[in-house]
Amino acid sequence: MANKGYSVPDLFGNGYTHYDEKGNKIGRSEPNIFDDGFTDYDAKGNKVGTSVPNLFTDGYTHYDDNGHKVASTQKNLMTGYSHYDQNGKKLGESTPNLLDDGYTHSDGCYIATCVYGSYDCPQVWTLRRFRDDTLKRTAPGRAFVRCYYALSPTLVREFGETAVFRALWRSALDRLVRRLHKNGVADTRYEDR
What's the mean pLDDT in 19-29? Answer: 84
Torsion angle of C-alpha atoms 149, 151, 155, 157, degrees rounded to 10: 60
Q: What is the pLDDT of residue 2?
A: 46
Same domain, 126 and 76: no
Same domain, 116 and 101: no
Reference 149, options 84, 75, 59; nearest CA is 75
Same domain, 93 and 129: no
Q: Whole domain around residue 169: which residue ranges?
A: 111-182
Reference 116, options 163, 166, 152; nearest CA is 166
Backbone angles phi, psi at 149, to 5 degrees: -75, -20
What's the mean pLDDT in 111-129? Answer: 87
Number of domains in the chain: 2
Quick check: is 26 in a domain?
yes
Q: Which residues make Cβ contacts (< 8 Å) with residue 104, sequence separation at least 6? A: 3, 5, 6, 94, 95, 97, 153, 154, 157
Q: What is the pLDDT of residue 181?
A: 96
Going 177 to 181 to 187 to 192, the CA torsion angle's sign is negative
Domain end: 106, 139, 171, which one?
106
Could you tell me the pTM of the whole model?
0.57
Domain end: 70, 88, 106, which one?
106
Same domain, 79 and 17: yes
Same domain, 98 and 173: no
Same domain, 16 and 47: yes
pLDDT in tens, 130-143: 998 999 899 999 88
First CA to last CA distance, the chain = 19
Domain end: 106, 127, 159, which one?
106
pLDDT in tens, 60-104: 889 998 989 888 888 875 567 777 788 777 777 776 766 666 776
Quick check: is 187 in a domain?
no
36, 53 Cβ separation under 8 angstroms: yes
Q: How many residues does the chain have?
A: 193
Q: Are strands 25-31 and 16-19 parallel, antiparallel or unpaired?
A: antiparallel
